[in-house]
Amino acid sequence: MQQIRMFLPLLKSSFKDLLPIILVIAFFQTFILQQVPDNLLSISIGLVIVAVGLAVFIQGLEIGIFPIGENLAQEFAAKGSVVWLLLFSFLIGFSTTIAEPALIAIADKAALISDGRIDSTMLRLTVALSVGFAIALGVFRILTGHPIHFYIITGYVIVVFLTFFVPQEIVGLAYDSGGVTTSTVTVPLVAALGVGLARSIRGRNPVIDGFGLIAFASLTPMIFVQLYGLFVYSFGEQEHIASTLAFVGDKTEVLLSVTDRAVALLLELLSVVTDVLPILVVIFFFQYAIIKKAVPYLSRVSWGIVFVILGLYAFIVGLEMGLFPIGEAMAEQLTSQDNHFFIYLFGFMIGFSTTMAEPALLAIAMKVEDISAGLIKQMVLRITVALGVAVGIALGAYRIVEGDPIHYYIIAGYAIVIVLTYFAPRYIIPIAYDSGGVTTSTVTVPLVAALGLGLATHIEGRSPLIDGFGLIAFASLFPMITVMAYGVITELTIKPKESK
């Protein structure tokens, strides 16, 4: 009964979060495109499944993932095992990234568009290694108490420096790689690890020191992928595998057309379990082999993990039934319109609405409100981040339409982030940096990637490889600006009131 009482408010909240997406799609279909979507019933059922899956997923986070992540961090801090803690951090980053569905989709698309010059597996390994390194480096920062902005600004300088030397074919892909690494499962676990570690070390503030790991995981892939691209385009050979990939894709479609739907759904569930399994192996290995203690409240935590898997599974199935087909179709329809304003408006509105329904952002916002004792409200943070994503996608779409080089926009954005870093209150800086990494996950990436590649494919003179990638980078960059701006405005408005 207690679980049901917990679940019903979550379910209500999930439907409320999905409502903006439904309204955006309905508005564009009715008034702009003036078309009735195909398979309207299937789309509606899919959206209901998304809402239920999101609610189950959140309940699983609260009773399973958050507690075990914080417990592990506290145990490592108590043992003083710095080497094992850093190794655990690296393996968590690597194992959660290598099987990340959004990264797999982007890597396969990059391999196809580049005619095999970019190898899908090597790209995924490069990104996974970079995330493992990032999480370990972020944990080291918490242990030493170094201010996060020194690390982040140094990283930005390296990214910008490399941009002027790497081939233009790799720049947008490298920027996007930083946005697809922080998955729906990774974010809550990494956040719990950082906050738990900061709580366990004397002199650390969970708000200032506990957040920031996700920011590291978004930054280092941009550096590693640019280096990978520099090597590939300097020494690699083109393999022309596009026809092979197309053949495999055709075979997959035929297979799915003759396979019973129940079997297809089971395979989908097994895929989700496969994505989560490496994380669980790392967690339980370190818990029992290194910490040498049983997991507290194992039964409750186990149910939480089951809920996370089932909720994520339902969420993905619902997206495939409801959101992805209509989103891809609308992206194609909008690119055929003569009025580019509708493209920018759709980018803004879909960016805002999908971000509000993003599970990873919701998980971080819940944790921020809890750690800040209500100083930062989760709904205010989510709206602020969603506005940043909306502006970023609209501006990124404008960049593709106009054909401008991406690095001018990104460098200008980084410059604004660096300036705001010196004016924003300290407690908001790590949260702002993390906000850039949690916006591009399960919901946002497929729709944003489809929009970017659709624009680059259908606009004359644009290259899908050079111009099609980059929207995800815009969706990751601008939330950092809006969240820090929110912190500055909050400080300016609160202090005068307190002085009265």
Per-residue pLDDT of the chain (500 residues; tens, 9 = 90+): 566 777 788 788 778 777 887 888 888 888 888 877 777 788 788 888 888 888 888 788 788 877 887 788 778 777 777 888 899 889 988 887 876 666 776 787 788 877 778 888 899 899 999 999 999 999 999 989 898 889 999 998 999 899 989 988 888 888 888 777 766 666 777 888 888 888 888 888 887 888 888 889 889 999 999 999 999 888 765 554 443 334 334 433 444 444 566 777 787 788 778 777 888 888 888 888 888 888 888 888 899 889 988 988 888 788 778 766 776 677 677 777 777 899 899 899 988 988 887 777 887 888 888 888 778 888 999 999 999 999 999 999 999 989 998 888 988 998 999 999 999 998 899 999 988 877 766 666 767 777 787 788 878 888 887 888 888 889 889 999 999 999 998 888 765 555 45
How many C-alpha atoms does 32 have within 13 Å on its Cβ side? 22
The closest alpha carbon to 219, from 445, 408, 409, 480, belongs to 480
Q: What is the pLDDT of residue 387?
A: 96
Residues 6+ positions from 34 with CB-CB distance below 8 Å:
none
Alpha-carbon span 71 to 300, nearest angstrom: 14
**Conformation bin of residue 331: beta by default, left when phi > 0, alpha when psi is -120 to 50:** alpha
The answer to whether 386 and 352 have CB atoms below 8 angstroms apart is: yes
Residues whose CB falls within 8 Å of the CB of residue 91, separated by 6 or more in sequence, listed in order: 132, 282
What own/partner pairs with CB < 8 Å and gap ≥ 24 does 240-243 have?
240/115, 240/116, 241/111, 241/112, 241/115, 241/116, 242/112, 242/115, 242/116
Residue carrying the six token digits 């054909």 = 403
- H helices of 236-297, in order, are 242-258, 261-285
Distances (CA, A) of 401 to 135, 452, 458: 36, 10, 10
Contact 400, 462 (CB under 8 A): yes
Is the distance from CB of 166 to CB of 158 less than 8 angstroms?
A: no
**Which residues are within 8 A (CB) of 320 and not within 5 positions of it... i.e. 6 or more apart?**
46
Q: Which DSSP symbol is given to 426? A: G
What pLDDT, on the 0 to 100 scale, is given for residue 259?
Answer: 55
Number of H helices, E strands in the chain: 22, 0
* Three-state DSSP state, 178: coil
Taking residue 99's Cβ as centre, other Cβ atoms within 10 Å add up to 19
Q: What CA–CA distance (Å, rounded) separates 149 from 153?
A: 6
Beta strands in 55-210 (DSSP E): none
What pLDDT score was predicted for residue 247?
34
Neighbours of 237 (CB within 10 A): 8
Instruction: Compute how many other C-beta atoms are within 10 angstroms of the C-beta atom of residue 324.
Output: 18
CA dihedral (65, 441, 86, 150) positive or negative: negative
pLDDT at 68: 82
**Which residues have C-beta within 8 Å of that of residue 110, sequence separation ≥ 6?**
118, 120, 123, 173, 465, 469
Q: Which amino acid is at 380?
A: V
Residues 6+ apart with CB under 8 A from 269: 309, 313
CA count, 13 A, side-chain hemisphere, 439: 39
Give the DSSP letter of residue 1: -
Contacts of 424 (CB under 8 A, 6+ apart): 432, 484, 485, 487, 488, 491
What residues contact 27, with CB distance under 8 A and at least 6 apart? 349
Long-range CB pairs of 341-345 (<8 Å, 24+ gap) are 342/28, 342/32, 343/397, 343/401, 343/455, 344/394, 344/397, 344/398, 345/394
Can you give the pLDDT at residue 436?
81
CB neighbour list of residue 314: distance below 8 Å, 6 or more residues apart? 49, 50, 52, 53, 56
Task: Report the amino acid identity of residue 438.
Answer: V
182 by DSSP, 3-state: which?
coil
N-to-C CA span, the chain: 49
Amino acid code (one letter) for 378: Q
Listed in sequence order, the residues at least 6 apart from 423 whose beta carbon sits closer than 8 Å to its beta carbon are 484, 488
